[in-house]
Amino acid sequence: MNLIKLTTSLFLIILVDFQGKAQNLFDGWEYLFQTKKSYVVYKTPEVILIDGKADENSWEKAEWTDLFVDIEGENKKLPTYSTKIKMLWDDENLYLFAKLTEPHIWAYYTEHDQIVYHENDFEVFIDPDRTTHEYFEFEINAQNTLFDLFMTKPYRNGGIPLISWNADGFRSAIFLDGTLNQPGDTDKSWTIEMAIPFHDLRLGVHAQKPENGTHWSINFSRVQWQTEIIDGKYIRKKDDATGRILPEDNWVWSPVGVINMHYPERWGILQFSTYEVGEKTIEFTLPADEKYREYLWLLYYKQTQFKSENKTYAQTLDELDFPENPEKDVVISMQATGNQFFAELKAPGGLKLTINHEGRISKN
Q: Quick one: pLDDT band at residue 288, thresholds 50, 70, 90?
A: very high
Give the span between the Cα atoms of 112 and 157, in whole angstroms. Answer: 27
Residue 208 has pLDDT above 90, yes or no: no
Q: How, if at all, do strands 121-127 and 93-101 pair?
A: unpaired
Give the span between the Cα atoms of 87 and 98, in whole angstroms. Answer: 9
What's the pLDDT tens digit per position in 213-244? 999 999 999 999 999 999 999 999 999 999 99
Residue 77 has pLDDT above 90, yes or no: yes
Q: Quick one: pLDDT band at residue 75, thresholds 50, 70, 90?
A: confident
Give the span between the Cα atoms of 57 and 46, in whole angstroms. Answer: 8
pLDDT at 236: 98
What's the pLDDT tens digit per position in 2-35? 444 444 444 444 454 544 445 689 999 999 999 9
Q: How many CA atoms lie within 13 A of 362 on its CB side?
A: 11
Residues 114-120, mean pLDDT to the nearest whole number: 97
Q: How, if at all, do strands 83-89 and 38-43 pair?
A: parallel
pLDDT at 203: 75
What's the pLDDT tens digit per position in 30-69? 999 999 999 999 999 999 999 999 999 999 999 999 999 9
Cα separations (Å) of 249 from 149, 181, 191, 233, 235?
22, 20, 19, 20, 15
Q: Which residues make Cβ contacts (< 8 Å) with residue 31, sequence separation at least 6?
A: 72, 73, 257, 258
Instruction: State which amino acid sits at residue 220.
Output: F
Residue 175 — φ and ψ, nearest 5°?
A: -125, 130
Give the span between the Cα atoms of 291 and 295, in whole angstroms. Answer: 7
Residues 200-206, mean pLDDT to the nearest whole number: 78
Q: Which residues make Cβ contacts (< 8 Å) with residue 186, sequence separation at least 6?
A: 103, 104, 178
